[in-house]
Amino acid sequence: MSSVGEALRESAIINLAGAVTMVVDDSPFSAEITTTALSGFGIRTRHSCRSAPEAMAILTEIEADLLVVDCEMPGMDGFELVEWLRRSGPPNAFVPVIMTAAHIRRSMVDRARNCGANFIVTKPFSASSLLERIVWVARDNRPFLEVGDYFGPDRRFREGEPPGKERRADNIRRAEFEAQKAALAEEAGQ
């Protein structure tokens, strides 16, 4: 089954209709696309904010279930908002956060992970990829850790290598071993 089909099957098990969702994006167009995608899954966006300070003011008053936050916003960016959120205390310190960005560089992935975000998605995203990420964060059971000045989900979420993916170093070692084995067999045969 495709990953989209799997996400749709799993989302049928998760009731998203009552989720208190906030979209934080300085672009009205991008916020509208995100809100429309969420509504397609039965999620009614309860709060749509154009800035991190606006979101902070609302988050001090409500309990959220999901945040979709743009990384790059003028003034206070999405990374700073997530850092604030994680330090804000219950109930919102533990809310799942999916960050979005138009161009994701490795440094942005690191920064999103280090500020306490659960996931980062490239814009424009398909509705199915957003749904996959929502299902993933809904099922995510990583513990929250406080290490130094970091507070958020355990940043180590891979357990071993992904199935079916071999590391290049393993392939090189295997080829070297096979070459040595062939050389020894040739020597023994002479």
Q: Which two tokens stand for residue 94?
A: 């533990």
166 occurs within a structural domain: no
Residue 82 is inside which H or E element, if any? helix 78-87
Whether residue 96 lies inside any domain: the answer is: yes
Full residue range of the structural domain in which residue 57 is found: 3-153
Examine residue 72 and state whether it is found in any structural domain, yes or no.
Answer: yes
Of 129, 120, 125, the C-alpha closest to 97 is: 120
Instruction: Map tokens 């002479």 to a residue.
Output: 190
pTM of the model: 0.74
Express each pLDDT in 31-70 by its tens digit: 999 999 999 888 888 999 999 999 999 999 999 999 999 9
Structural domains of the chain, count: 1
pLDDT of residue 18: 85
Counting Cα atoms < 13 Å in the Cβ hemisphere of 180 gives 6
Q: Is residue 175 assigned to a domain?
A: no
Residue 100 in tokens? 């979005």
Domain at 110, CATH number: 3.40.50.2300
**161 inside domain:** no
In a domain, 171, yes or no: no
Distance CA 116, CA 139 (A): 17
